[in-house]
Amino acid sequence: MSAESFDLFVIGAGSAGVRAARMAARLGARVAVADPAPLGGTCVNLGCVPKKLYSFAAHYADAFEESRGYGWSTTEPVFDWATLKAHRAREISRLNGIYGQLLDGSGVTTLRSRATLSGPNEVEVDGRIHHAKHVLVATGGRPVVPVLPGHELAITSNEIFDLPEFPKRLVVIGGGYIASEFASIFSGLGSHVTQLYRGEQILRGFDDDIRNFVAAEMGKKGVVLRTVAQVTRIDRSAGALQVTLADGTLLPADTILYATGRRPNTEGLGLAELDVRLSPNGAVVVDEHYRSSVPTIHALGDVIDRVQLTPVATAEAMALVDRLFGQGKRSVNYELIPTAVFTDPNIGTVGLTEAAARERFGEVRIFRSEFRPLKHSLSGSSERTLLKLVVDAKSDRVVGLHMVGGDAGEIVQGFGVALTAGATKAQFDATIGIHPTAAEEFVTMREPVVA
């Protein structure tokens, strides 16, 4: 078939691919994007958005109970899994449509089929070869399940949102943020959740105080956490599933969720045939400008396995497009990335952990506050909040800010601006707090807990 030429051909219509396509088109480039899956990628369809919606749903059980302390009388609430699934699907479908409208409105050619590379400047879609000055691979990643006896009986985060039946007993295998979030979500929705992690504490890479604190709080909410737990096999017995641990423990379950890692989607794209350099796990190796070992082929987002967060991927997309079609002034600062984990309670964090700050700066000052939020003085809940500041002693600059508590992500986003601007502890101290809020504690902590 006849060829069509583009300035930029994007393979993958997730958050990063759509952002790159739209921004390039606005700068006058002729752009195409190809993806057979629903528009929006993992974040919209199987990640951030549906997960946050289910997190909202999971909080209502506590909210109904806590309302009694404020004078409300209600009948016993009943949760309907089918209703939640249907409403989620409707919202995701709406967002898929919005993504399509954004692409169409920007003048992007959208191809709803799988694309493969047939040359450094050639992309094949449905047997048709398209020429492109630049190709962007933004195909994201997928969850992986370790191979062990019975692994095919487990599900991943891709399937968890649409289970035919709500699991009364859920075993979550993994200790990262995805595993921890789903453990909290399904516990809140009413499932008996056991979370298994082979390490000594969940959420490796987060500040140790945060890890220990949130694990304890999740335990209060019903999540049974078993660390240093190694799964050896999964079986089906008498209509139920059973997990066997290395120590011989047998755990019955209705559903087993594996959330132990993700792998970049690079197989079958033609990258290896073009000698595009890949890392051992299949990620595209790129330079500081997201250019692969083949100069016309670029990659970003989860497929480069650098920082697997949607806002980071979209920032990378804007930096790349600015370099290819703009003024080349944009860049991505990986040093200060605000992050939220939607466990119950939430985590919000930006900057360095205490351990990382000590390694980098030597002398640091630590400020920490733990308290029962005002809301729970009447609710009857035993939930507590933790706030922590990490300060470089020499410069007085706040280099790490961490929180476990209600709306932690919403609170920490604003403080991310402050840390990006280089705010010092003295400037935090000079800021007037909003009373009564949990956030005000960040500007009222005066005495370091560790000199």
Indicate the domain borders of the chain. 4-142+263-325, 151-260, 339-443
- In whole angstroms, what separates CA 336 from the centre of its chain? 16
Dist. CA 271–CA 296, nearest whole Å: 12
pTM beyond 0.85, yes or no: yes
Contact 214, 345 (CB under 8 A): yes
- In whole angstroms, what separates CA 22 from the centre of its chain? 23
Does position 450 have pLDDT exceeding 70, yes or no?
no
How would residue 42 be classed by pLDDT, with cut points 50, 70 and 90?
A: very high
Identify the CATH number of the domain defined by range 151-260. 3.50.50.60
How would residue 140 be classed by pLDDT, with cut points 50, 70 and 90?
A: very high
**Marked catalytic residue, from 151, 298, 402, 435:** 435
pLDDT given at position 1 = 42
**Fold agreement between 4-142+263-325 and 151-260:** yes
Closest-CA residue to 331 (of 355, 312, 344) = 312
Report the pLDDT averaged over residues 424-451: 94
pLDDT given at position 239 = 84
Report the pLDDT averaged over residues 342-352: 98
Report the pLDDT averaged over residues 40-62: 97
Say which CATH topology domain 4-142+263-325 has.
Answer: FAD/NAD(P)-binding domain (3.50.50)
Report the pLDDT averaged over residues 46-64: 97
Question: What share of the chain has pLDDT > 70, as a percent?
Answer: 99
Report the pLDDT averaged over residues 222-229: 98
What are the backbone dihedrals phi and psi of residue 21, each rounded to the nearest 5 degrees, phi first?
-65, -45
Closest-CA residue to 298 (of 128, 126, 124, 132) = 132
Q: Which residues of 165-195 are buried (b: 16+ CB within 10 A; e: fewer)?
A: ebbebbbbbbbbbbbbbbbbbbbbbbbbbbb
Report the pLDDT averaged over residues 18-34: 98
Dist. CA 379–CA 145, nearest whole Å: 40
Asked about 435 being catalytic, the answer comes back as yes
pLDDT tens across 274-320, in order?
999 999 999 999 999 999 999 999 999 999 999 999 999 999 999 99
What tokens does 228 get? 């240093």
Does position 451 have pLDDT exceeding 60, yes or no?
no
121 vs 450, residue with greater confidence = 121
Strand order in the sheet with 255-258: 224-227, 192-197, 169-173, 255-258
Cβ neighbours of residue 75 under 8 Å, at least 6 residues apart? none
Does position 200 have pLDDT exceeding 80, yes or no?
yes
Dist. CA 17–CA 140, nearest whole Å: 9
How would residue 75 be classed by pLDDT, with cut points 50, 70 and 90?
A: confident
How would residue 2 be classed by pLDDT, with cut points 50, 70 and 90?
A: low
Contact 451, 365 (CB under 8 A): yes
How would residue 4 be classed by pLDDT, with cut points 50, 70 and 90?
A: confident
Report the pLDDT averaged over residues 241-250: 97
Sign of CA dihedral 135, 36, 268, 309: positive
pLDDT given at position 342 = 98
Say which CATH topology domain 339-443 has.
Answer: Enolase-like; domain 1 (3.30.390)
pLDDT given at position 310 = 97
Report the pLDDT averaged over residues 137-151: 97
